[in-house]
Amino acid sequence: MKSSFFLHLTSLILMISGMELKAQEWEFAKERDGIKIYTSHDTASSYKLFKGEIDLHSDVNTVSNLVEDVLNFDKWDDDISLIKVLGAEPGRSIRYYVQYDVPWPATDRDLCVKSEIRTDPVTGERVILSWSDPEALPEDPEFIRIEKYWQKWTITSSVAGKVHLTLEGYADPAGDIPAWIVNLAITNTPLNMLRKIRETLE
């Protein structure tokens, strides 16, 4: 059972990355309010990857239910102007659509996402893996469709009454936003999201 869990997860990561699976080399960026933030470079892209880690006074199911409810995302990301669920199998998968308000003069972005939820039957670790599904809806000419995107939540029990939550992600916004601007602010994404998740749970 455990091996099938990791085989399925590995196949998903290979699918969304479009390249050979390899260990990511993370560089520590900063720590704020007990939240550790890391970045990484991908030789196939000029945009950085991010990772954030936090320990929460909660349990795996509570945190997972919160993260799986994508309608919460606009509370954690101020750039989201609209989010709509396209379909869901509770506890297994969800498809959704997001619009991002991008500061002028850049063009607003949109994103279609598919997520799968998997729980290790032995350890209880839960992984929520999301990737871009750009053809899920017709493109809107007022938006630039984000096609290269993935996000991974990992929720594990640590000590009694606590869970360790890790958020990893990558997005290529495409179009007219220079990579250096995106990379300059990349650590804000996991920091703000994890901070607001903790506030929600408290």
- List the domain boundaries for the chain: 2-18+25-201
Query: What pLDDT shows up at residue 159?
Result: 78
Query: What pLDDT shows up at residue 194?
Result: 95
Query: What pLDDT shows up at residue 76?
Result: 83
What is the dihedral sign for C-alpha 185, 190, 192, 195?
negative
Contact 24, 31 (CB under 8 A): no
Give me the average pLDDT of each 10-residue run along the chain (202 residues). 47 45 78 95 86 95 92 86 93 94 89 96 94 95 94 91 94 83 86 93 85
Instruction: Determine the Cα–Cα distance for residues 150 and 26; give it in Å rounded to an integer.
Output: 17
Tell me the HSE value of 163 on the side-chain side, using a 13 A CA sphere.
21
Q: Which two tokens stand for residue 119?
A: 């729980």
Query: What pLDDT shows up at residue 39?
Result: 95
Query: What pLDDT shows up at residue 128?
Result: 96
Instruction: Provide the 3-class DSSP secondary structure of residue 88.
Output: strand
Query: What pLDDT shows up at residue 4?
Result: 47
Name the architecture of domain 2-18+25-201.
2-Layer Sandwich (3.30)
For 186, list phi and psi in degrees, rounded to 5: -65, -30
